[in-house]
Amino acid sequence: MNFLRNTIGVLAGLAVAAVIITFGIKIDSDWITYKEFAPFEHWEKLLQSVEKKDSFFVALLFFGGLGVTFGGVVTAMIVKYAKVAYAILIGFIMLFIAMLDVIIYPYHPVFYKISIFLIFFPFSWIGGKITEVIYERRKKREKQLQSKNIKPQV
């Protein structure tokens, strides 16, 4: 049962990260030149058109970090054990996808190629730690409330 729960958690975290990144790059209407929603079919043309615009890649990094943070939070909320480890797994998978993108399409600037390593792992770790801290505080608060309700018998 934990395997199914962990798999659902990872898939949900990846979906959240992908949605945030996809909507993040659609912020500037100058970047998206196609009408239908088919980003993977038009990705090479998009990268060629924004090759000299560093603002696109900065936005891609920003929303990538935001996406893996929230993806890590969602994953850590769903899985039962090793919350931070599964959140970091989201960062690893997204880093792998970003590296494939860099290898397949050579239109990325050097700062983007270096920064993906500095963005995906730390931000996914932060997402897992956020959830871990929230759960620890909740457990501590519940323990305090239970200790206040228990009255010693004389």
| pLDDT at site 47 | 72
Whether 86 and 137 have beta carbons less than 8 Å apart is answered as no
The answer to which of 47-61, 68-82, 98-112, 120-134 has the lowest mean pLDDT is 47-61
Average pLDDT over the chain reads 84
Phi, psi of 106 (to 5 degrees): -85, 30
Q: In the predicted model, is pLDDT for residue 129 greater than 80? A: yes
Contact predicate 151/96, CB 8 Å = no
Angle at 75 between CA 69 and CA 77, to 5 degrees: 105
pLDDT digits (tens, 9 = 90+) for 4-44: 999 999 999 999 999 998 888 777 666 666 555 555 666 66
CA 107, 112, 114, 117 torsion-angle sign: negative
Q: How far is CA 145 from CA 105, 132, 133, 135, 142, in A?
A: 56, 20, 18, 15, 5
Q: Looking at residue 35, what is its pLDDT?
A: 58
Domain assignments of the chain as residue spans, ordered by start: 2-149
What confidence score (pLDDT) does residue 56 get? 82
This prediction has a pTM of: 0.82
What is the structure's pLDDT at 31?
A: 62
